[in-house]
């Protein structure tokens, strides 16, 4: 079974802190994604990566950066956390190629910024 794991289920940080959210997948998938989910807004794509060291902005990249140094790991970085970044963060991965269909999601990290 494909497994997407996220480093923490719950995280509490203070305003201004640098925050790292880690995601690891074990199926050699080329594509990886970071979303945030907020009540009433659904899932919104922050960044995605379709290969090592490659990244593309999603719909709401402001305030975030990402790192993909190894194929299996995709990190989301909040350089200086703010209270409006309190949210559920979901990582996902998908096989590369035009016929790849299923996107696999991790369990999510609920981040609270105080």
Partner 1 sequence: DAKTTQPPSMDCAEGRAANLPCNHSTISGNEYVYWYRQIHSQGPQYIIHGLKNNETNEMASLIITEDRKSSTLILPHATLRDTAVYYCIVRANTGANSKLTFGKGITLSVRP
Q: Which residues of this protein are in contact with partner 1, per CB under 8 A?
A: 4, 30-31, 33, 35, 40-45, 48, 50, 56, 58-59, 90, 92, 96-108
- Class of residue 8 by CB neighbours under 10 A (exposed 0-12, middle 13-18, buried 19+): middle
Minimum distance between the CB of residue 112 and partner 1, rounded to whole angstroms? 16
- Give me the half-sphere count of Cα atoms (radius 13 Å) on the Cβ side of residue 24: 4
Give dist(CA 39, CA 12) in Å, integer: 19
Question: Shortest approach of partner 1 to residue 114 CB, angstroms?
Answer: 22
User: Min. distance of Cβ 48 from partner 1 in angstroms?
Assistant: 6
């Amino acid at each position: 079974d494909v497994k997407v794991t996220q480093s923490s289920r719950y995280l509490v940080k203070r305003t201004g802190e640098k925050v790292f959210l880690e995601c690891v997948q074990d199926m050699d998938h080329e594509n990886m994604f970071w979303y945030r989910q907020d009540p009433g807004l659904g899932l919104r794509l922050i960044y995605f990566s379709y290969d090592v060291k490659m990244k593309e902005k999603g719909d709401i990249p402001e305030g975030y950066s990402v790192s993909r140094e190894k194929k299996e790991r995709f990190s989301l970085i909040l350089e200086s956390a703010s209270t409006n970044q309190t949210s559920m963060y979901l990582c996902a991965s998908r096989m590369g190629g035009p016929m790849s269909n299923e996107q696999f999601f991790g369990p999510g990290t609920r981040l609270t910024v105080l």
